[in-house]
Amino acid sequence: MLDMNKHVFCLLALLVLSVPASGYADVSLEPKAEQQSSAVMQAFNNDRSAKSELVAIDIKTKHLIMFIMGIPLLLLIIATVALGVAMVVYGKRVFVPHMICAGLSLTLALGHAVVGLVWFYPF
């Protein structure tokens, strides 16, 4: 019985390994396809010079938005810490509000980080 399982496993392994390879074996690039792919790449490279409206926001407005996002983030983190201290030190039953504040803090922190990377990281 154990010998039969080995053979079945080997056949399944060969089948799984041969299926993806057979799909890529007959792929060939013709000169026409190469010209089309280079035209597509050139179109993408030409569009980089045009800036979208999202990037066209002036730097002062970007800083203001980040500051406005940072104020509630800071308040939520302070509230999360205060609720955690109230639970641990004073034995209050505030686990659910603590977790809600923690979840909101994490969500706002991730949003703040993504906006900061998109707007201020030099790509």
Domain assignment present for 78? yes
Give CA 31 to chain center in angstroms: 37
Q: Which domain holds residue 97?
A: 59-120
Give helix then strand counts, H and E, for the chain: 4, 0
User: pLDDT tens digits for the chain (123 residues)?
Assistant: 555 566 666 655 655 565 554 445 455 555 666 677 777 777 666 655 556 665 678 889 999 999 999 999 999 999 999 999 999 999 999 999 999 999 999 999 999 999 999 888 876
Question: Is 46 part of a structural domain of the chain?
Answer: no
Residue 100 covered by a domain: yes
88 within domain boundaries: yes
Asked if residue 18 belongs to a domain, the reply is no
Number of domains into which the chain is organized:
1
State residue 56's pLDDT score: 76
Q: How far is CA 47 from CA 39, 93, 119, 121, in A?
A: 13, 56, 19, 20
Quick one: pLDDT at residue 57? 83
Q: Using CA atoms, how far apart are residues 64 and 68, in angstroms rounded to an integer?
A: 6
pLDDT of residue 14: 58
Q: Is residue 15 part of a domain?
A: no
Residue 19 lies in a domain: no
> How confident is the model at residue 27, as a pLDDT?
53
Asked if residue 52 is part of any domain, the answer here is: no
* pLDDT in the model for residue 122: 72
Residue type (1 letter), 37? S
Residues 70/112, Cβ–Cβ less than 8 Å: yes
What pLDDT, on the 0 to 100 scale, is given for residue 41? 72
pTM of the model: 0.54
What are the tokens at 89? 């030190």
